[in-house]
Structure 1
């Protein structure tokens, strides 16, 4: 598969992830526990199922990373070239920004719309954000959950694993991560997913974006470094 097709697939896949996942948080759920919204479980499933459907849609083309932390971890593990890693990350960020922009256009069609702090499903922490966890909790959660997420990915895509079940297992693991981490940070484990909404929300969401780049990338790299403990390829 040539690089341009892989890059396009990664951009499209990340676009779908952000549109469905952040769309669920922004439009389909008034609050994570309100009676009129889909709630925390619904948002978690939106992100997880987005990965499942895109894994089977673009997986044969690009591997369906749709996440810079995954692409960088694959680079460290020797499974992706530097050229493709850079191309993947650029495409993922473009896809995420495009989805956030479309979501913003849709959201502004609601009567009385005003961009709130951490709008469009932006990630964050601290006073005023969901469970109001501090920066230390946010940093630990994003690192640990990305680390575990990458271990699932490495394990389910290993040479002795079942490729048919990989997309399902990865999507379920992402849904589980969201079920725990949404009150802490809104759940990123994906720098591109955080970048798109933060650019449009601005303010505190943009100021706190650094954590959702550093922690997921560090967690992914650590997972790549320890994968050889239990994987042969």
Structure 2
């Protein structure tokens, strides 16, 4: 179990740090191509690196779906989610500490810069909370279905390429919906940048804390009634 805990803590920390960092410290992006590729490559690398240890969930929605599919026991599910939260907290703290040093070194003002980028926390200034919730449910469901198919014993033909497929899926979803909701699909990914950024990022955080779990339920139903032959 210690290897699983290490994989989820360390992987979640890297996700929460490097994902937002590549956007807010990687230079100005005029479109979503750079961030989508960055997020996709990051996820592919993390899945390759930590998949052998923990299965590379890094996402309570993935863990909860596995629990619903009876692939994980309740105790293990709780341990995984707590590990992801601890990792997210560490990653968020390192993100804030590093970006604050970057802002100070560049002679900029923390409050002004964070008001612009929200530490890459996921926000939806152009649509309603209800629409943002719906979009996040759809995005999470798509991601989880891809994961289900890649891991299904009867369909995992390209097992070694699975992390690349997950990364490409993330990249496409970010490219498609990044300007709408930030394409989170992960409560941990949204929560900790929002905590350290505050302001707008925390106003409707409930959307990102609940929608992925609805996607988990839909994914579990698809697994039970479509992918499972019994």
Structures share fold, TM-score greater than 0.5? yes
Aligned counterpart for 1:114 among listed residues 110, 116, 124: 110
TM-score (norm 2): 0.90
- Local SS of the residue matching 2:108: coil
- Equivalence for 1:129: none
Kindly indicate whether the alpha-carbon contact (under 8 Å) linking 2:8 and 2:54 is maintained by their aligned counterparts in 1. yes
2:138 paired with 1:144: yes
Kindly indicate whether the alpha-carbon contact (under 8 Å) linking 1:16 and 1:99 is maintained by their aligned counterparts in 2. yes
Q: CA deviation at 1:202?
A: 1.4
Count of residue pairs brought into register by the alignment: 220
1:68-217 residue pairs with structure 2 within 5 A? 68-109=60-101, 110=103, 111-115=107-111, 116-117=114-115, 119-126=118-125, 132-160=126-154, 161=156, 162-217=158-213
- How far apart, in 1, do the equivalents of 2:70 and 2:35 lie? 33
Aligned counterpart for 1:6 among listed residues 4, 7, 14: 4
Q: CA deviation at 1:203?
A: 2.1
- Equivalence for 2:37: 45
Higher share in helix? 2
Say what the alpha-carbon RMSD is for the aligned residues: 1.5
Q: CA deviation at 1:137?
A: 2.1
Kindly indicate whether the alpha-carbon contact (under 8 Å) linking 1:107 and 1:113 is maintained by their aligned counterparts in 2. no
Kindly indicate whether the alpha-carbon contact (under 8 Å) linking 2:21 and 2:95 is maintained by their aligned counterparts in 1. yes
- How far apart, in 1, do the equivalents of 2:74 and 2:33 lie? 37
Gapped regions of structure 2 (runs ≥ 5):
none
- How far apart, in 1, do the equivalents of 2:166 and 2:220 lie? 16
Kindly indicate whether the alpha-carbon contact (under 8 Å) linking 2:129 and 2:204 is maintained by their aligned counterparts in 1. no
- How far apart, in 2, do the equivalents of 1:46 and 1:94 lie? 23
- How far apart, in 2, do the equivalents of 1:107 and 1:59 lie? 29
Kindly indicate whether the alpha-carbon contact (under 8 Å) linking 1:11 and 1:95 is maintained by their aligned counterparts in 2. yes
Kindly indicate whether the alpha-carbon contact (under 8 Å) linking 2:68 and 2:220 is maintained by their aligned counterparts in 1. yes
Q: CA deviation at 1:89?
A: 0.9
